[in-house]
Amino acid sequence: MEKEDLPLEDVRILSLAHVLAAPYGTMVLADLGAEVIKIERPAIGDDSRTFGPLVDDQSGYFISINRNKKSITLDLKKERGKKIFGELVRKSDVVVENFRPETMEKLGFGYENLKKIKPDIIYASICGFGHDASPGYENRAGYDIIAQATGGIMDITGQPEGPPTRVGSSIGDIFTGLYMAIGILTALRKRERTGKGSRIDLAMMDSIASALENAIVRYTITGEVPERMGSRHPSIAPFDAFEAKDGWVIIAVGNDSLWNRFCEATGFEKLLGDSRFETNDNRSNNYNALKPILTQWTRNKKVSEIVDLLTKAGVPSSPVNTTAEVVEHPNICHRGMIVEVEQPEIGKIRIANNPLGMTLVSKDSKIKPAPLLGQHTTEVLTELLGYSKEDIKDLKKEGIV
């Protein structure tokens, strides 16, 4: 599927984003066809260009989240660079950034100033605690681990006897990037209807708090502070990771009907008559008695035996896959979730695909590789702003691009 068939083909986004949160969101929009122009510092670029693993001095980290984008270099601290940025704003629909609060204001490109350049501009920002933050948090730096800590998810992640644990993926960045993409799509729809732009202010702490699922409502209703429980579910049982002879297996008995099936398939019919385990609520309240019984059974079987047995019985179960097993998993491969891109100066690299499977967006769409630093500077300035090649030579001499 060519780019012109994609649903956001007529949307242009200026991205001042760096590292992960906003770049992840703009990657999703680029996958949907938006033209994302990534503005980077001359000679330096996005910090994540130096993050490992490196292949021929290119960052696999950067490659994995900056596909389908264009890169131009521009020094926004120089007046001529500011002028060019303003010209680009006039030609764009959205401006995205994830600097600390006040950075864009200091550069002269806060939302109010952007509106003067283009009244219907959509401006989306991401930072740790929001541009509208409470006293003491107005200009604090925020990384994913800070968001996971302040947002509460670390306190409920990990084993009961262990320390608070960061979720293995940078979900503070990723959730916020996805919310940003949703916000931008909503703002584009609003502009279609009203002709007005929007200001989108996202805080990573907010995104983590929104993802606490039932932890918040458990606290507000019961007054009890949720604690770390390992992999078990706080109100469904058995819904946990169990040790097997050769690894770990997930057993997810989500209701009483599944509990009946589980017991019949595993030879635990005697548990069906045990009042401690008769209902889901009882099983949850008596889980400390139930888990050792089930663990004694799982430890004597291989993961594959347990999964095959329970799958045939219609009881949800799964091995705990490593990243290597995920990359080669038949269903992941069947659904096109691992794609190969031809990266300039490196060659073929496999990365994760966009999971959106819709009739409007085919997973067979050709993915463009992540751009080299400043790869599209000449293209964008000549085609979009009408600069001559001599103009660009001058800009390069001055260190502006």
Catalytic residues: 173
| SS3 label, residue 250 | strand
CB neighbours of residue 15 within 10 Å: 30
Helices 21-31, 171-194: crossing angle, 10 deg rounding: 50
Contacts of 79 (CB under 8 A, 6+ apart): none
Residue 168 CA to residue 241 CA, distance in Å, equals: 16
**Own/partner pairs, 374-380, CB within 8 angstroms, 24+ separation:** 374/40, 374/42, 374/45, 374/71, 374/72, 374/73, 374/401, 375/70, 375/71, 375/344, 376/37, 376/70, 376/71, 376/72, 377/71, 377/72, 377/73, 377/74, 377/401, 379/70, 380/37, 380/70, 380/72, 380/88
**Residue reference for tokens 């702003």:** 385
DSSP 5-60: GSTTTT-EEEE---SSHHHHHHHHHHHTT-EEEEEE-TTT--GGGGPSSEETTEEH
- Cβ burial of 358 (10 Å; 0-12, 13-18, 19+) is exposed
- The neighbour count for residue 180, using CB atoms within 10 Å, is 27
DSSP E strands in 253-364: the ranges are: 317-319, 338-343, 347-352
**Which residues, in sequence order, are CB contacts of 92 under 8 Å at separation 6+?**
12, 13, 14, 37, 118, 121
User: Are 56 and 25 within 8 A, CB to CB?
Assistant: no
